[in-house]
Structure 1
Amino acid sequence: MKLIIAIVQDEDANKLIATLMDAGFSVTKLATTGGFLRSGNTTLLLGIDDDRVPAAMACIEKVCKSRKQVVTSPMPMGGAGEVYMPYPVEVVVGGATVFVLNVEEFRKL
């Protein structure tokens, strides 16, 4: 038995959940916040048999693609009394961060 923890961008979450459920997976959704851009993301939990891990990973890889996004980042300008000016920066967002953990015991009550 495995526990998959998948952290995905909010805009990918609903499509991924639908894809996983269509493939026969049960999914628990947690609303979380990312630290990098402080934007909303979603953490999905899946408890599955070892032999179904490749199928779940295929669903995640199919839906969660990385993409570029322009964000405004404050950039220090000046000396002692520094002023922060907004500066557009292109960053890569999306994709998924996935952890696959061994589960010692699973009970559904």
Structure 2
Amino acid sequence: MKLLVCIVNDVYRDHLEKVLQNSGYRITELASSGGFRRKGNTTFLIGFKDQDYNDLKKTMEEACVHVEQKKKIQPTSKYRFTSFVMETATNDDWTTRFNKA
């Protein structure tokens, strides 16, 4: 299991959230601000299985392109979202950290 931390431009947020939920991904949305990507962004935390990574990225890109076409926005793929993949702890790793005898 992995975690995708994804900072999304607010233009894409609503549609991307709906598409990901309808595709079966479990996501958590965090309101975010600061100097990394400036104002107007939302952070999604998305859990996924290792083998689903390519499908997840493709789904996200297609959702962004759909918004660009619908709103007649100039396509700028480098401003859609920034993402980071992180390893998650397995159940065994988690329980052993807190259940030391």
**Highest Rg: 1 or 2?**
1
| 1:12-57 alpha-carbon deviations (Å, 9 max, x no partner) | 1110011111111111000112426732210000111111111111
- The structure where helix makes up a greater share of residues is 2
State the partner residue of 1:86. Answer: none
State the partner residue of 2:41. Answer: 41
1:1-109 map, 5 Å = 1-35=1-35, 38-64=38-64, 94-105=79-90
Report sequence identity in percent.
Answer: 33
Aligned residues: 85
Structure 2 gap ranges (5+): 95-101
Q: If the length of structure 1 is used for normalisation, what is the TM-score? A: 0.64
Structure 1 gap ranges (5+): 69-91
CA change 1:23–1:4 in 2 (3 A) is same
C-alpha distance in 2 between matches for 1:6 and 1:36:
12
Instruction: Report the aligned-residue RMSD.
Output: 2.8
Which structure carries more relative contact order (alpha carbon 8 Å, separation 6+)? 2
